[in-house]
Structure 1
Amino acid sequence: MAVVASAPGKVLMTGGYLILERPNAGIVLSTNARFYAIVKPIYDEIKPDSWAWAWSDVKLTSPQLSRESLYKLSLKNLTLQCVSSSASRNPFVEQAVQYAIAAAHATFEKDKMENVLNKLLLQGLDITILGSNDFYSYRKQIEARGLPLTPEALAALPSFTSFTFNVEEANGKNCKPEVAKTGLGSSAAMTTAVVAALLHYLGVIDLSSSCKDKKSSDLDMVHIIAQTAHCIAQGKVGSGFDVSCAVYGSYRYVRFSPEVLSSAQDAAKGIPLQEVIANILNGKWDHERTIFSLPPLMSLLLGEPGTGGSSTPSMVGAVKKWQKADPQTSQETWRKLSEANSALETQFSILSKLAEEHWDAYKCVIDSCCMKKSEKWIEEATEPSREVVVEALLGARHAMLQIRNHMRQMGEFAGVPIEPESQTRLLDTTMNMDGVLLAGVPGAGGFDAVFAVTLGDSSSNVIKAWSSLNILALLVREDPRGVSLESCDPRTNEIASAVSTVHIE
């Protein structure tokens, strides 16, 4: 029986750079872009002489990359050895498999491990990974087809579209796929989906919706294993907000102390996984997360400017270097940025509360403001209950302008384009449009993407305006759902929905 799990991509709205250090917080939104992992046995039955086997087969398929990798898993020390060409290796999935199986070993009693776990492993693991189109840039394909840069053109592409291959290498066997990403955290979502599917498949956790009472501890298990696998695959301990979002969904996040993963780094030095995993599972995971999502009648929009990607690690490195070289200025900049981030959080929570307590006034203001530029919003403050809504909207805008200002300054000091001039012009133009609450560069900034938060029905006008500015609005929206068990292979869903739209005369 196949197990299918999915995990969402993310947009870090506030907390870029600051989120690397405790106790700074960031607001991270999970999206409807999801990575899927499908786990099933390779063999229906175990051969009679399987008791003597010391190895299990693992097959990893990535249809979008037209890749299939074969591995041998040592049942003694739980390590994977790739037996197909090294060009097709995926370190994130490799670490996810090793740590998920090690977690099963650490969790099960000896008899259950020998009977249930070994039986499942001896049947082999057939793992397929699929990412929503939203994780990748298809701008070039749209332009090559002479289509307009609109979400409709994106929606017309088949789901889980294959990537184009570099032309000059296309006749070679190991041609590398040409994959431009949109910055939604594909490696974190992929790692989380694989870990969740494997842990559920092996019986370590139960992610089915009927198991609500156990769910938080099960999610915590997915979180610990996915964070560990992701950090080892990356070769460094990051802030972890992307993995945490892939597990838990939209929230306000404060990172875990990096020391909790010191034992995982020992595993990289050759210490057996069985010894390492217990320390990781029993470690002091002190990350903090508070539920957060956008207030009602607001939408998240993401746009792809098509000016080429930015390297987050090199930008983070430059900011850290500046912090060391000029601790006084950098501390002052971070303090102001942190205050502006908190101010935006406060305005959002006020707006959510007002929507709950004064829905009619809140809805009236949003419905009117969505058709006006921000300088006209004050006209809607015709009575006290509407005035507080307008004040909170303008307060959120002001906080975002402060955030952008401090992020730009930080980029200038560190010598990296956190909000490059081209993005500044685009964001200023966007924030001037009817019904736009705020706009910014997500995460570490750079050229990858821009985001906007729009009021009411104003999204469609922003999308049209972006298209005329050569900005491709993506199909991504906020979806607060974290890691989930799916009922079937997402490709069969696509076929079913395609069939249902066919009209038979």
Structure 2
Amino acid sequence: MEVVASAPGKVLMTGGYLILERPNAGIVLSTNARFYAIVKPIHEDVKPESWAWSWTDVKLTSPQLSRESMYKLSQKHLTLQCVSSSESRNPFVENAIQYTVAAAHATFDKNKKEALDKVLLQGLDITILGCNDFYSYRNQIEALGLPLTPEALATLPPFTSITFNSEESNGGNCKPEVAKTGLGSSAAMTTAVVAALLHYLGVVNLSTSSADQHQENKNSTDLDIVHMIAQSAHCIAQGKVGSGFDVSSAVYGSQRYVRFSPEVLSAAQVSPSLPPSLVV
């Protein structure tokens, strides 16, 4: 099974820093620029001996950054250990994975946990893609001899790779040049990964669109779950409890936003080293 989920970027129209204090409100609009997360198994089958394993393989690919990372996810402590180059680590995605798997363990009963373990033993292959609007492609456009206009940007292929800086004097490569446009890429990326994993693991169902009132209520509850986990993961990754409007708009879309009480995530803010199972 393969699951694809997406989340939009944002623009805060009114409110500014005032929305950091409740009950001040702001108007936030979601954009058509979206981050996409694709989740599928690494292994097609579960090997008989794998039931004795205490870890899950996790593969994280970001084609636009030309990076691929491998992790081991502890099934006991629900923590990730990077087993590839540390340069390719992404704290937003790492926390999204840990908190989502922790939520699945906390939600399921014994029978469902057995099914969850089977899914996890197949490994998690996660690919992340962001629309070009999240990044500045000034260098690529200039290299093509094109004017710096929206029309020129539109000529670039979707999910264009981000260029690397020129080599340093000692011959080493600089880190990828990631010039952002301020549309909330980290929040959209975190939310997309959380949503895709929650659906893949069977915690929520985000694919059904129905006029049935019961189904609408269920979908609303599922989005609330996505929101809570995405806010927690994003908070831990950035090391503080922010305003939260970017994650909220990534989940619910355009809205009149009033900040949640920061105390809700105080445990995560004070103790970022705690296992997700103790914070969620």
2:239/2:272 contact within 8 Å kept? no
Residues 173, 228 of structure 1: CA spacing in aligned structure 2 closer, same or farther, 3 A cutoff? farther
Q: Once superposed, what is the RMSD of the aligned Cα atoms?
A: 1.6
**How many residue pairs end up in the alignment?**
275
**In 1, Cα distance between the equivalents of 2:108 and 2:33?**
34
What is residue 262 of structure 2 aligned with on the other side? 258
Aligned 1:124-139 pairs, distance under 5 A: 124-139=123-138
Aligned 1:85-100 pairs, distance under 5 A: 85-100=85-100
Residues 139, 267 of structure 1: CA spacing in aligned structure 2 closer, same or farther, 3 A cutoff? same
How far residue 151 of structure 1 moved from its aligned partner, in angstroms, is 1.8
2:58/2:125 contact within 8 Å kept? yes
Give a deviation string over 1:129-166, Cα, whole Å, max 9, x none.
Answer: 00000000112321232212222211110100001101
Q: TM-score, with normalisation over the residues of structure 2?
A: 0.94
Q: Per residue, is there more helix in 1 or in 2?
A: 1
What is residue 278 of structure 2 aligned with on the other side? 275
Q: Which has the higher contact order (CA 8 A, sep 6+)?
A: 2
How far residue 75 of structure 1 moved from its aligned partner, in angstroms, is 0.2
What is residue 64 of structure 1 aligned with on the other side? 64
Greater gyration radius:
1
How far residue 274 of structure 1 moved from its aligned partner, in angstroms, is 1.9
2:57/2:123 contact within 8 Å kept? yes
Give a deviation string over 1:34-68, Cα, whole Å, max 9, x none.
Answer: 00000000000011111110011000000000000
Give a deviation string over 1:16-51, Cα, whole Å, max 9, x none.
Answer: 110111111111000000000000000000111111
2:167/2:173 contact within 8 Å kept? no
**In 2, Cα distance between the equivalents of 1:3 and 1:251?**
27
How far residue 266 of structure 1 moved from its aligned partner, in angstroms, is 5.1
Indicate whether 1:242 and 2:264 are aligned: no
Q: Secondary structure at the match of 1:60?
A: strand
How far residue 175 of structure 1 moved from its aligned partner, in angstroms, is 3.6
**In 2, Cα distance between the equivalents of 1:15 and 1:134?**
23
What is residue 47 of structure 2 aligned with on the other side? 47
Q: Secondary structure at the match of 2:167?
A: helix
Aligned 1:68-83 pairs, distance under 5 A: 68-83=68-83
How far residue 172 of structure 1 moved from its aligned partner, in angstroms, is 6.2
How far residue 87 of structure 1 moved from its aligned partner, in angstroms, is 0.5
What is residue 108 of structure 2 aligned with on the other side? 108
Gap regions ≥5 residues in structure 2 = 210-214
Gap regions ≥5 residues in structure 1 = 278-505
How far residue 269 of structure 1 moved from its aligned partner, in angstroms, is 3.7
Residue identity matched to 2:87: A
Q: Secondary structure at the match of 1:245?
A: helix
What is residue 2 of structure 1 aligned with on the other side? 2
What is residue 467 of structure 1 aligned with on the other side? none
Give a deviation string over 1:62-120, Cα, whole Å, max 9, x none.
Answer: 0000000000000001000000011100000000000000000110012211x211001
What is residue 117 of structure 2 aligned with on the other side? 118
Q: Secondary structure at the match of 1:167?
A: coil
What is residue 149 of structure 1 aligned with on the other side? 148
Select the residue among 217, 220, 223 that pairs with 1:219. 223
Indicate whether 1:195 and 2:206 are aligned: no
What is residue 163 of structure 2 aligned with on the other side? 164
How far residue 219 of structure 1 moved from its aligned partner, in angstroms, is 0.3
2:241/2:269 contact within 8 Å kept? no
Residue identity matched to 2:278: E
**In 1, Cα distance between the equivalents of 2:29 and 2:279?**
32
Give a deviation string over 1:476-500, Cα, whole Å, max 9, x none.
Answer: xxxxxxxxxxxxxxxxxxxxxxxxx
Residues 151, 197 of structure 1: CA spacing in aligned structure 2 closer, same or farther, 3 A cutoff? same
Moved over 3 A (4+): 169-175, 210-213
Q: TM-score, with normalisation over the residues of structure 1?
A: 0.53
**In 2, Cα distance between the equivalents of 1:16 and 1:274?**
34
**In 1, Cα distance between the equivalents of 2:199 and 2:174?**
34
**In 2, Cα distance between the equivalents of 1:212 and 1:169?**
55
Residues 15, 80 of structure 1: CA spacing in aligned structure 2 closer, same or farther, 3 A cutoff? same
